[in-house]
Homo-oligomer: A and B are copies of this chain.
Amino acid sequence: MNAPPLSPQMTARAAVELLTLGDELLDGRTADGNTLRVARALETLGLSLNRRTTFRDDRVAIAQAFQDVSRRADLCIVSGGLGPTTDDVTVAAMALAADVELVFDQAQWDRIVARFAPQTPPENNRRQARIPVGATALSSDVGTAPGLYLELGGCTFFLLPGVPDELQWHLDHHVVPMLAVHLAQLGLVRKRPTIYLRCVGIGESALAQRIEALPNLAWVEIGYRAGELDLELSLRGDDPEEVERFAQAVEAVGAGYVIGRGRAGLAERVVEAFRGRGLTFGAAESCTGGLLGATLTGVPGASDVFRGGIVAYANEAKTALLGVKPALLAEHGAVSETCARAMAEGARRLLKVDIAVSITGIAGPGGGTAEKPVGTVCIGVAGPHGVASVVTTHLRGARERVRQQSVARALEAARRAVLSLPILESET
């Protein structure tokens, strides 16, 4: 593999830009997930984006943008507009910007023909085999669109397809390896030591506040990525020992919320914890309506530990299926620790599992009272020695957020029961 013609001054301080192209990104049709893909690929090299610009499928405007970017950036990733239709103008715009002709690349056309075999590609796919003079095609194993790279005005451009899977393939197989070669040739070790911490039950700003109170470690860079269930913290620096010291300090101020190192998500960790001890998992859900089971079974291989669940949304279902006594419901209400306890025990018995977890709460927007406002959620865990834990938590946010956080708390409660750890504190 040859390194692209990058300028030798392209270092950690390089100016890197992203252009995402296509009407669909501006008219409310498509959410742009490609920026994340590109940013994360660059991050592995210690590079980061300065700017992203999105244009409609307008050849002249895009050509102008290529020229503008070439004056201020060292590297530019471009996504979109490499398809076979007349909307796809990226390559033509680059030829216009560079003031060169498009030439037919027989090798790329052969790949496209092979991809369609035994059918013949439609005539308009020939467009995808045309590349600007001076550019190098980047073959793809996914999709028909080749990528390409070329140098314009001292800036290296990678033109990549906008289809997410195809873009990712090009990033993984061409862009990152080529840039790594280039950076290594410059004697720049780009990969910086990084520690990832996974956190549950605490928001980004609350955690940031605790971290900001730590002694200033300006040489450790902190990144936050909030997911539906949990929060990933990345700590990156130049000195591995500094990063390690800082990680330990974060683990201390985030005690009870930092659940481990590495990039595995909460649901994966739960499956792993159960699998490691040969234990089985069952669910009893009310306000989450099945989301706990759906989340856990989103992990491939969850069948090793997950047996099933009871979704007892209506009170009659809590009684008929889980054996929650009507008198209990009448006295304490469905959203109560007593009910959560009875649901977990009922599910454990019925599903014949080692550990069953229950969720009952008020997800909103309706159903809240002064005593039990929207966001009140009770979570119970029943294990081989009876009820292992039952806790009431008060969650903030809209219905879906309350449901997701309920699932996160329930999964974490199950994980702690398996690991015999103290249960998660209530919301701070």
Known: A31-B36, A51-B54. A313 touches B288 (CB 8 A): no
Using C-beta atoms within 8 Å of the partner chain, give the interface range for chain A.
Answer: 35 or more
Cβ distance A155 to chain B, nearest Cβ, rounded Å: 17
Question: Would you call B283 and A297 a contact (CB within 8 A)?
Answer: no
Question: Would you call A28 and B32 a contact (CB within 8 A)?
Answer: no
User: For chain A residues 386-418, which have a beta carbon within 8 Å of chain B?
Assistant: 398-400, 403
Chain B residue at minimal CB-CB distance from A350: B321
Cβ distance A132 to chain B, nearest Cβ, rounded Å: 24
User: For chain A residues 245-272, which have a beta carbon within 8 Å of chain B?
Assistant: none
Question: Would you call B49 and A55 a contact (CB within 8 A)?
Answer: no
Q: Chain A interface secondary structure, helix, strand, loop or mixed?
A: mixed
Q: Which of B49, B298, B306, B311 contacts A308 (CB 8 A)?
A: B311
- Tell me the number of copies of this protein: 2
Q: What are 11 contact pairs spanning A and B, CB under 8 A?
A: A26-B35, A26-B51, A28-B43, A28-B223, A32-B35, A51-B54, A51-B61, A291-B291, A293-B313, A310-B310, A321-B351
Q: Which of B18, B29, B289, B308 contacts A310 (CB 8 A)?
A: B308
Q: Let me know if A365 is at the binding interface, CB within 8 A.
A: yes
User: What is the interface of chain A, defined by CB distance below 8 A to chain B?
Assistant: 18, 24-33, 35-36, 39-40, 42-43, 48-56, 61, 165, 223-226, 283, 285, 287-294, 296-298, 300-303, 306-314, 316-317, 320-321, 350-352, 364-366, 398-400, 403
Question: Would you call A300 and B225 a contact (CB within 8 A)?
Answer: no
